[in-house]
Amino acid sequence: MDPEMQAKLASLLQPLFGPNSLRDYVDRSFDDSLHLTKEESDYLCEQATDKELDLLVTFEKTFAQKRQSVLVRNKYNKQFLKSK
């Protein structure tokens, strides 16, 4: 690929993958919504099951789902703190 095409492609992909990208915004929103640091969030995402992650990212939750989300968050946060 010629350098001009590479530069154009890089400029198109920057909003999606560069610093302050959409992905970074979504990550920060997830961390903020669960009151987690970046390191705690990374640990949770590595350790949690798909079912647990689905529960955490569900937008409209019943009270029971909210309670379960808090329990999942606390479970992995406790494990993270013990691993330090």
Using one digit for the tens of pLDDT, what is the confidence trace for 12-71?
767 666 677 777 878 888 888 889 998 999 999 999 999 999 999 888 999 999 999 999
**Measured distance CA(77)–CA(40) in Å, rounded:** 6
Q: What is the pTM of this model?
A: 0.71
Nearest residue to 69 (alpha-carbon basis) of 83, 27, 60:
60
Tokens standing for residue 2: 């010629």
The DSSP secondary-structure symbol of 20 reads T
